[in-house]
Amino acid sequence: MTTPEPTRPAAGAGTLGIDPALLAILACPDTHHSPLTVDAAAGELVCGTCSRAFPVRDGIPVLLLDEARFRSA
Ligand SMILES: [Zn+2]
């Protein structure tokens, strides 16, 4: 009998597979360091201050200004 892999509760659609504890401390890399919100539909993390959207690749948020795009409000 094989032991099943432990299932991680974090990989829900609402968090893009990002650990909720990590999500809680993520901030925009710009100087204002505003908290980011998950846009599950777009698969991005969005800053409410500068409207940048950061991609999430394989559950890893890419918080680089060079990788961000601006979203129109
Ligand atoms: Zn920002």
Give the domain ranges of the chain.
20-70
| Gap from CA of 29 to ligand 1 centroid (Å) | 7
| Gap from CA of 69 to ligand 1 centroid (Å) | 11
| Gap from CA of 11 to ligand 1 centroid (Å) | 25
Residue 2's pLDDT is what? 73
Q: Residue 2 CB: number of other CB atoms within 10 A?
A: 4
pTM assigned to the model: 0.78
Residue from 67, 66, 60, 64 nearest 16 by CA: 60
The more confidently predicted of residues 40 and 3 is 40
Average pLDDT over residues 13-36: 92
What is the CATH T-level fold of the domain 20-70, as seen in this structure? N-terminal domain of TfIIb (2.20.25)
Is the confidence at residue 10, as pLDDT, over 50?
A: no
Residues with Cβ–ion distance below 5 A, ligand 1: 28, 30, 47, 49-50
Is the confidence at residue 1, as pLDDT, over 60?
A: yes
